[in-house]
Amino acid sequence: MQKTWLCVISILGMAVCSAALVMLVPSFFGPGEQPSAWLVGTLAVLILVLAAGARYWRPSPSGPHDI
């Protein structure tokens, strides 16, 4: 049960970080606006770490179709 909650939290964290990263996209093309490279890099790394966590903590498949 613990692994399931960690996986869900990782997926929700990825969704929030991805939404924040998408919200920064217009600032790449706006005149005179420049997003912080640290902010973009930190969000990207956090998304990668959460994706790895979601894969690591995903629940194991159960049922007659196990591979």
Q: State pLDDT tens for residues 4-38.
A: 889 999 999 999 999 999 998 888 777 777 778 88
Structural domain containing residue 15:
2-57
User: Residue 66 falls within a domain, yes or no?
Assistant: no
Q: How many domains does the chain have?
A: 1
Q: Who has greater pLDDT, 39 or 29?
A: 39
Asked if residue 65 is part of any domain, the answer here is: no
C-alpha distance from residue 21 to each of 7, 9, 30, 40 (Å) = 21, 18, 15, 7
List the one residue out of 18, 20, 6 whose CA is nearest residue 56. 6
Tell whether 67 is covered by a domain. no
| 50 occurs within a structural domain | yes
The answer to whether residue 45 sits within a structural domain is yes
How far is it, in rounded angstroms, from Cα 19 to Cα 13? 10
- The number of helices, as runs of H, and strands, as runs of E, in the chain is 3, 0
